[in-house]
Structure 1
Amino acid sequence: MPSQEERIEALERTTAEFRPVLQNVAYELTMVKGLTIDQIGLTQNLNQDMKEVKERLTKIEEQLETILTLLKPS
């Protein structure tokens, strides 16, 4: 069974070997987080825009119905 010092040395070697990989993963996760936050903001803006478009279309439909009602012969 390896001594505590040998186990610590092995852990330090393993950590040193995987440090670049872990740093890369941390960087990529940071990028994904930033992109996700940006995407959420864009989606919220699109939802708001769609809500406004629907409201405007509803008003236009109401106006068209009124116009058609007025144009019908009595």
Structure 2
Amino acid sequence: MATQEERLIALEQTTAEYRPVLQNIAYELTMVKGLTIDQVGATQGLRQDMNNVKERLTNIEEKLDTILTLLKPS
């Protein structure tokens, strides 16, 4: 069985070998987080725009119904 010092040396070597990979993963995760936050903001903006369009269409429908009612012969 390896001594505690040998295990520590092996751990340090493994950490040194994988440090660039881990740094790259951390960088990419940071980028994904930023993109996700931006996308959430864009989605919220689109949702608000769609709600505005729905409101306007409802108003137009109500006005058209009123116009059609007034144009119907009695």
Identity across matched positions, percent? 78
Give the whole-Å Cα distance in 2 for the aligned partners of 1:47 and 1:30. 26
TM-score when scaled to structure 1? Answer: 0.97
- The answer for the alignment partner of 1:31 in structure 2 is 31
Give the whole-Å Cα distance in 2 for the aligned partners of 1:69 and 1:19. 74
Query: Does 2:32 align with 1:45?
Result: no
Give the whole-Å Cα distance in 2 for the aligned partners of 1:2 and 1:66. 88
5+ residue gaps, structure 2, are none
Q: Which amino acid aligns with 1:39?
A: Q
Q: Please, what is the CA RMSD of the aligned residues? A: 0.5
5+ residue gaps, structure 1, are none
Give the whole-Å Cα distance in 2 for the aligned partners of 1:63 and 1:8. 78
